[in-house]
Amino acid sequence: MPDTADGSPVDFVTAGARRGRQRADAARNRERVLAAAEELFAELGVGAVTMDAVAARAGVGKGTLYRGFGDKGGLAVALLDARERELQERLLSGRKPFDRRTPPAHRLEAFVVAYLRLAVAQLDLLLMSETNAPLARQSTGVHGAWVLYCTSLLAEGGAPDPDLRAEALLAMLSAEQVAFWVRNEQRSLADLERSLSTVARLLCN
């Protein structure tokens, strides 16, 4: 068995178990931080939340928070990325309403509803990510994934110009547009889900 620097033998089993516990602790801390940040952003708005408040709500040290996320911008990006990845995993899961047996128009409607719920829940984060530079929304990798998904459904349904229609649908789901409907016009999420689901269904024709 190899020796450590002080001459004592290395216990690979114990060391491996310790690393496993550390990774598990880090994963749990990350989830606690993301949950705390999501709660605080919803309660106070992104601009009013401090890293100290997130650390206190999550019950972790400030050093842990800064090492894991860098700053509030990094925390916001991580939270948005986690939620978008959850939606991507649902689209790829093969479970209803996103399974291949469901007609493409119905899958597109289900995507619109799911994305709207994500957008409203994470609206300030989406606004920040989509408006921090010219064409920021179109430049993100996740936007490209949404375009490909919607284009494939529209093409499967036989719609003409599926790529253009996909971009048009996603433009209606942009953070600025959703914010205008929800905050300026005081439209309810249920109303938006019904109306935009109808638009998605019509685009498939």
Residue 18 pLDDT: 56
- Burial status of residue 13 (CB atoms within 10 A of its CB: 0-12, 13-18, 19 or more): exposed
- How many domains does one find in the chain? 2
User: Tell me, what CATH number does 125's domain have?
Assistant: 1.10.357.10
Kindly report the number of other CB atoms within 10 A of residue 69's CB atom: 21
Output 12-18 pairs: Cβ under 8 A, ≥24 positions apart: none
Last residue of a domain, one of 70, 100, 128: 70
Contacts of residue 74, Cβ cutoff 8 Å, sequence gap at least 6: none
43, 100: one domain: no
Last residue of a domain, one of 45, 70, 95: 70
| Residue 10 DSSP one-character state | P
pLDDT in tens, 37-77: 889 988 888 888 999 999 999 999 999 899 988 888 778 77
Residue 52 pLDDT: 94
16, 84: one domain: no
Question: Can you tell me the distance from the alpha carbon of 132 to that of 125, in angstroms, rounded to the nearest whole number?
Answer: 11
Last residue of a domain, one of 41, 70, 99: 70
The H-or-E segment that residue 68 falls in is: helix 62-69
**Whole-prediction pTM value?**
0.73
User: Tell me, what CATH number does 44's domain have?
Assistant: 1.10.10.60
Between residues 129 and 6, the one the model is more confident about: 129
Range of the domain at 187: 76-205
101, 186: one domain: yes
How large is the greatest C-alpha to C-alpha distance in the chain, in angstroms? Answer: 74
pLDDT in tens, 74-121: 787 788 888 889 999 999 888 999 999 999 999 999 999 999 999 998
47, 93: one domain: no
- Compute the radius of gyration of the chain from its Cα atoms: 22
**φ, ψ (nearest 5 deg) of residue 50:** -105, 160
Residue 4 pLDDT: 47
87, 176: one domain: yes
The percent of residues above 90 in pLDDT, for the chain, comes to: 55
pLDDT in tens, 3-32: 545 555 655 455 455 566 667 778 899 999
55, 130: one domain: no
